[in-house]
Amino acid sequence: MVNTKISLCGIEIDNPVIPASGTFGFGYEFAELYDINCLGTFSFKGTTKDARFGNPTPRIAECSSGMLNAVGLQNPGVEKVISDELPKLAKVFNKKVMANVSGFAVEDYVYTCEKLDKEEQVGWLEVNISCPNVHGGGMSFGTSPESAYEVTKAVKAVTTKPVIIKLSPNVTDIASIAAACENAGADGISMINTLMGMRINLKTRKPIIANKTGGYSGPAILPVALRMVYQVYEAVKIPIVGMGGISTAEDVIEMMMAGATAVEVGAANLIEPYACKNIIDELPAVMERYGIKDLNEIIGGAH
Amino acid sequence: MKQTIFTIKHNVALTANVYEMALVGDTEGIASGQFVNIKIDGLYLRRPISVCDYSEDTLTLVYKVVGKGTEEMAKMVSGQKLDVLTGLGNGYDTAKSGSQPLLIGGGVGVPPMYALAKQLIEEGKKVNVILGFNSSDEIFYKNQFEALGAYVTVTTVDGSFGVKGFVTDALKNTGGYSYIYTCGPEVMLKAVYNAGETSGQYSFEERMGCGFGACMGCTCKTKYGNKRICKDGPVLEKEEIIW
């Protein structure tokens, strides 16, 4: 018997596998296919203060070993998430869920986090300061240590639950931004959000995505994510939730060796709806193959 | 939604770039107007293809080669296995058809009309079909629709077969209709929307991420609120469409 349980910011979860925000909705679509209670937890669709339609379509483009998306934080707004989505989610998921929050001003993050912090089923707040697909907000908070510090500090002041700050890879020095979040009181870091990219339609000679740019995700970005998690592990003491291209149990182990305490699985859910279940099912056998008895023993093992 | 491994029974060209692929496997839960999402080796995103026909054990897809995904599909051979998500999308609601529904398919929008025509005829309705193509060499499935017992009018833009012009130029040939079901390029849908005299159901397409409602990659605005083309569509009611 191997141990897949880990503790994420003081909350024990059965395994480190967490579907990433924006690839799992509020869980219902997947709950039609399998019992999603097998997951460690999941990060629900990015929620903002007000309802958002998001960007015009096309929002999606194919890439080598991955995809671009520019959904643009479509969501019904925090009030509707609390009144409509969370009660439905509770019917299919009985564990603590990770609430993913985004905003366009520090006050937006404060408003949304304060509301979601009061929800019993919310275990962690994942604060996205790294969305590449909205203008005048999102990523702009995650591109300097000062603004990352400011958002983290403000959210921590109004919340009681662990706050995990989700970072952008579209920066020159991610470790300094992670350190600023830790200094501001963050309980964890999740990384990486998507890499900004573009595809051009040769027939129309214009970008495929209506937003022009989109976030690149999928197996292609795994090496970038591993490198960045490795760097941030050396810069902070708080736990890291590693993500970027994870599609297999081997990828989970590799990401944990780089320094992640838990992992998020994103694009893989869209291509293979059973991806997270398959990873969880395969994890014990893959651990045994590499002589791992307890996942806790490999966190940061590559350092 | 269901994930099924199908085996290709045949994959044959109907015209220069339109193919018919028959797949053997579990077709439970598939309905007319829905689509399936196919995993293709070497490509990351699955490729959504509309359902043309289905029986107890066979799913038929008719697709046009328009990009990398369909290029790969055209090379596939009998016996090959395919990982397919089925039962995707809302499909057509035949309860609203009235006694004389009119089905309008344009180009690669023709295939979804086939399973629908079959279903409506089984329900005892008098089905008129308008099939629109650019020219006579692009025509497919005319005989198949006629074999079902549908009244078929073909239009070609260049006049090389049937009524010269667009599908809307054949509306007066149908002898009256109670409801419209349509699928085709967006300009055609809009022309039908403007020329059609009854309510109807319009099938849309969009670039998709997942195809089952999780990623919000294909959302459009409707008068009834935001809808995901993959999950809440691809079929929209005429009354809710915002162009």
**pLDDT tens digits, residue range A205-250?**
999 999 999 999 999 999 999 999 999 999 999 999 999 999 999 9
**pLDDT tens digits, residue range B34-84?**
999 999 999 999 999 999 999 999 999 999 999 999 999 999 999 999 999
| Cβ <8 Å between A62 and B43 | yes
Handedness of CA A87, A164, A170, A226 (dihedral sign): negative
**pLDDT tens digits, residue range A64-110?**
999 999 999 999 999 999 999 999 999 999 999 999 999 999 999 99
Of A22, A23, A218, the CB nearest to B44: A218
Helix (H) or strand (E) holding A107: helix A106-117
Q: What is the pLDDT, as a whole number, of residue A136?
A: 62
Contact (Cβ atoms closer than 8 angstroms) between residue A282 and residue A276: no
CATH class of B94-203: alpha beta
Provide the CATH topology of domain A6-52+74-198+216-298. TIM Barrel (3.20.20)
Looking at beta carbons, which residues of chain A come within 8 Å of B220?
Answer: 57
Which CATH number applies to B2-88?
A: 2.40.30.10
Of B123, B115, B114, nearest to B96 by C-alpha is B123
Report yes or no: B204 at the A interface, CB cutoff 8 Å. no
This complex has an ipTM of: 0.93
Of B3, B213, B226, the CB nearest to A25: B213
Mutate to test the interface with B, among A44, A53, A57, A217 (most CBs of B within 10 A): A57
Contact (Cβ atoms closer than 8 angstroms) between residue B196 and residue B184: no
CA-based nearest residue in chain B for residue A201: B67
Of B219, B140, B154, nearest to A56 by C-alpha is B219
Cα–Cα distance measured from residue A49 to residue B214, given in angstroms and rounded to the nearest whole number: 21
Of A54, A58, A67, the CB nearest to B44: A67
Domain positions in chain A are 6-52+74-198+216-298
| Cβ <8 Å between A22 and B219 | no
Domain positions in chain B are 2-88, 94-203
Find the chain A residues whose C-beta atoms sit closer than 8 A to any C-beta of B: 22-25, 29-30, 32-33, 45, 53-54, 57-67, 69, 71, 74, 208, 218, 267, 269-274
Q: What is the pLDDT, as a whole number, of residue B174?
A: 83
Q: A131 catalytic, yes or no?
A: yes
CA-based nearest residue in chain B for residue A266: B215
Taking the CA of residue A28 and the nearest CA in chain B, the distance in Å comes to 9
